[in-house]
Amino acid sequence: MSGSLLSEAKPLLELICPAGSLPALKAAVDQGADGVYLGLKDNTNARNFAGLNFDAKALAEGIRYAQTRGRKVLMALNTYPQPQTLQRWHAAVDTAAELGVNAIILADPGLMAYARKVHPELRLHLSVQGSATSYEAIAFYRERFAIQRAVLPRVLSLAQVENVIRNTPVEIELFGFGGLCVMVEGRCLLSSYACGDSPNTFGACSPGHAVRWQQTPEGMETRLNGILIDRYADHEKAGYPTLCKGRFAVQGETYYALEEPTSLNSMAMLPEMLKMGIAAIKIEGRQRSPAYVAQVTQVWRAAIDAVKRNAEAFQIQPNWTAQLTKVSEGSMHTLGAYNRPWK
């Protein structure tokens, strides 16, 4: 399966799509994803929302559906185990190995050590939550735990990404589209600050139990554990109810003090990504419905096929942009850090 590097061509711009449910997984596969990533129904992954994700039965069916069509299933186990419940994370690694996923995506070194020891044949990917931004950090994870792919945080410019790729044999996966985190991935405590739960421990940023939306005469208010984080006038597009994307009163002015509600869209950089040998492009959004997965997968499949056919002639089609803008947070997207001039 995943062990023999010699028999496998080095992947290039694999399209990796999110699946929060079996219908979403099937939508991704049907629309041409090369791989899907998913998680179990608990806090072993960073999209621990009520009713979302896979139990063992759905996981087995999803793996069968994807692998019989030649696609991969990657399982996210990217939260940090808690001392009292470490067994849950170990059991999840065992389940992934037994059911035959193509790789697991990990952030915690202790869990990597467990996976290496108990399931040495299981392919390991370093999660974005591991927050490795340098080739030295990636080399450490490779030497100690034999990780074969690293997902880079959305904080590096494309020039910095290229520098990482030139100096590591580990496959590099980049975020292509979707929700954009404030620039401290894997280390963010803003959600915990407001409501006591954060992705690394609880498995969700702004969990549903802490979120309230209310229509008021001034507009729609978003509250996180009672804290007013934004108020939208009727004509304004909305974003996710996260602290980082709220508007705050700072020295007499009310504005997006940390970042705007917007989605990442790196499509314009596909020719450069192809040239520098990016192994895979990840689409964010396991919390979203099958309709989103189908729409975004379809557009990115077309774009990646186009750039692989002829990178020089690659042009973004207007209908691709329209489709992606519609599903974007705040109906806006950005190249994010990929094209920033400063380092």
**Interface with other proteins (CB under 8 A):** 20-24, 26, 49-52, 58, 207-209, 211-215, 220, 232, 234-239, 261, 287-292, 295, 322, 326-331
> Nearer to other proteins by C-beta: 130 or 207?
207
Contact between 49 and 204 under an 8 Å Cβ cutoff? The reply is: yes
- Across 166-325, where does the E strand assignment appear? 171-179, 211-216, 219-224, 227-232, 247-250, 253-256, 263-265, 280-283
Rounded to a whole number of angstroms, the minimum distance from the CB of residue 49 to other proteins is 6
Residues 197/130/295/23 CA torsion (nearest 10 deg): -70
Q: Closest distance between other proteins and the C-beta of residue 258, in Å?
A: 18
Task: Give the nearer residue to other proteins in terms of CB position, either 23 or 109.
Answer: 23
- Spatial separation of the C-alpha atoms in residues 3 and 244, rounded to whole Å: 40
Task: In angstroms, give the least distance from the CB of 288 to other proteins.
Answer: 5
Q: In the bound complex, what is the minimum distance in angstroms from residue 64's beta carbon to other proteins?
A: 15
- At closest approach, how far in Å is the CB of 94 from other proteins? 24
Contacts of residue 34, defined as CB under 8 A and 6 or more positions apart, other chains included, come to 11, 14, 15, 16, 71, 72, 280
Q: Looking at beta carbons only, is 211 or 268 nearer to other proteins?
A: 211
- Smallest gap, in angstroms, from Cβ of residue 30 to other proteins? 12
> In terms of CB distance, is 148 or 298 closer to other proteins?
298
**Between 12 and 332, CB nearer to other proteins:** 332
Q: Which amino acid is at 170?
A: V
For the chain, helix, strand, coil in percent to 5 are 40, 20, 40
User: Which distant-in-sequence residues (6+ apart) come within 8 Å of 178 by Cβ?
Assistant: 18, 263, 264, 283, 284, 285, 296
Beta carbon nearer to other proteins, 20 or 186 = 20
Cα distance between residue 159 and residue 273, in whole Å: 10
* In the complex, minimum distance from the CB of residue 21 to other proteins, in angstroms, rounded to a whole number: 4
Tokens of 263: 């989605």
Q: Are 181 and 206 in contact (CB under 8 A)?
A: no
Task: Map residue 57 onto helix, strand or coil.
Answer: helix
Q: Among residues 212 and 301, whose Cβ is nearest to other proteins?
A: 212
